[in-house]
A = this chain, B = another copy of it.
Amino acid sequence: MAKIQTEKNTTKKEVILQKAAALFKTKSYTAASMRELADLVGVEAPSLYNHIGAKSELLREICFKIGNEFIEQTDIIKNSPGTVTEKIGAIIRFHIKKMMENFDEVFVANHDWKHLPEPYLADFLTIRRTYEKSLVSLVEAGIANKEIKAINPYVAVLTILSAVRGLEFWQRNKKNIPPQVLEDDMVLHLLNGLVN
């Protein structure tokens, strides 16, 4: 049982995946080459194929890992006790934390899913639509509740998801603002609005 482990109990494939996410983030999937990835890993390009099947496999694993993590955690939050407003706040906070902790992978999943080969592209889009619908139904419950303003629930979900996604552009400024301020202020803005 050859345990091909590198530092810290991570397999070589996990190292490749992590470096790939970082590379795809900075150069984009299509513009990143397997030779560049090999350089980052510290190996010649063909050697990568002892651990992976294809370049697109890297993209696929990144996208579906992140997609599934979002679905799982959101289901947990939806099925916990609390008001709709509290749940939406918790989901926003989870998005923000995930984006901070798994920045490279979330970035790549957001940007490069378009380059997934079929049938994975179709699967990914199905997952995403399911996720959106799940959030829409939560907002609808809040509207029925009178907890939430009677705006179009799709618009509300789109606004929330897009706003948290925008943290992609944040990373570079992250020294200036403590993460907790960022999280609290964005939740306040999205739930209670900008104006006094």
- Interface class of chain A by DSSP: helix
A33 to chain B, nearest CB (A): 11
CB-based nearest B residue for A182: B155
A155 near B185: Cβ-Cβ < 8 Å: yes
Q: How far is the CB of A35 from chain B (nearest CB, A)?
A: 16
Interface 1/0 per residue, A147-175 and B, CB below 8 Å:
11101101110111111111101100100
- A115, A151, A185, A194 interface centre (most CB from chain B within 10 Å): A194
Shortest C-beta distance, A117 to chain B (Å), equals: 12
How many chain copies?
Answer: 2
Residues of A within 8 A of B (CB): 28, 30-31, 85, 88, 111, 114-115, 139, 142, 146-149, 151-152, 154-156, 158-167, 169-170, 173, 176-177, 181-182, 185-186, 188-196
Q: List 16 A-B contacts (CB under 8 A).
A: A31-B115, A149-B194, A149-B196, A152-B181, A155-B181, A155-B182, A158-B167, A159-B163, A159-B189, A162-B162, A162-B163, A189-B190, A191-B193, A191-B194, A192-B193, A193-B194
